[in-house]
Amino acid sequence: MTPELAMIPELADILLASAMSLTASSVLVALLFPLLQKTLRNSRPQQQSRLLMLYALLPWVVTFWVVFLLMNPGLTGALHSAHCHGQLCGPHVPDVSSSSLAGAVLAGVVSALLLFALLLFNHQLRRGRQRLASVDLLSTAGNPSGNSSAAPDFRLIHSQLPLAWCAGLWRPRIYLSSALQQQLTPQQSAMVLLHEYCHLIRRDNLRKFLLHWASLLWLPKARKALQEQFALNCELQCDAYVTRQGYAPEELATLLLQLQPQTDMATQASGV
């Protein structure tokens, strides 16, 4: 047997162990998430969003170290006691029975699921790029209304719905509907654009995308709560960004109240 073929059972063991580690870690952090929520109640939105992202990545960090130690069993030191398997003594990759029929089937299932996740990941990226390209074709370069020369660049899309959003992962852009621009004052338009500009410079779309995939194996209820809390913190931070640009919190609060019914209508119409 060639050295390459001899490594297959060992790699299968590592694959199974890493899959079990990731699954178990994801379930554990999902179950403990309510405790984290209580801890974060008095934290600022910026701190909360950072901790939420780090917490979501925790199972992947644990799995990375599991794989690293499995591939370097000599580094485990005191984590295992001296023992032998037949004539094999000393540090070794744990045997999770991938060489058995059941283990081989399980390894194949794990590999198929991993391949499916990668294909789904690629499909989601391609679909997002296609949607963004379609929106670009339907939009034109926007001009800030009134004397808002300091407003960030944006794309204007003709729509009867009052919409404003930031789209794109790697090169995000700001989009504003003609209906919303027409009904807002120049000052209000500037606040909306600054809010979306904050999402752009913070790369919030990319953060949410990473959070979506990092929590893929979480329990559904905890995963939904994680994503909603993270999105809320992003919105609060961008609201705070607008006030730091010289706009009064009262003006921003009035604008949010004005846009809330229309935002609900737009969300309902879009099927989100």
pLDDT digits over 101-157, tens only? 555 565 566 667 777 777 887 877 788 788 878 887 877 887 766 545 566 888 899
> In this structure, what token pair is assigned to residue 4?
């390459």
pLDDT of residue 264: 52
In eight-state DSSP terms, residue 85 is: E
Any idea which of 10-14, 68-72, 77-81, 195-199 has the lowest mean pLDDT? 77-81
Strand order in the sheet with 173-177: 139-141, 155-157, 173-177, 164-167
pLDDT of residue 121: 76
pLDDT, mean of residues 71-100: 56
pLDDT of residue 69: 78
DSSP 126-190: HHHHHHHHHHHHHEEE---STT-TTSPP-EEE--SS--EEEE-SSS-EEEEEHHHHHHS-HHHHH
> In this structure, what token pair is assigned to residue 30?
């999902």
Angstrom distance (rounded) from CA 160 to CA 142: 16
Angstrom distance (rounded) from CA 211 to CA 25: 16
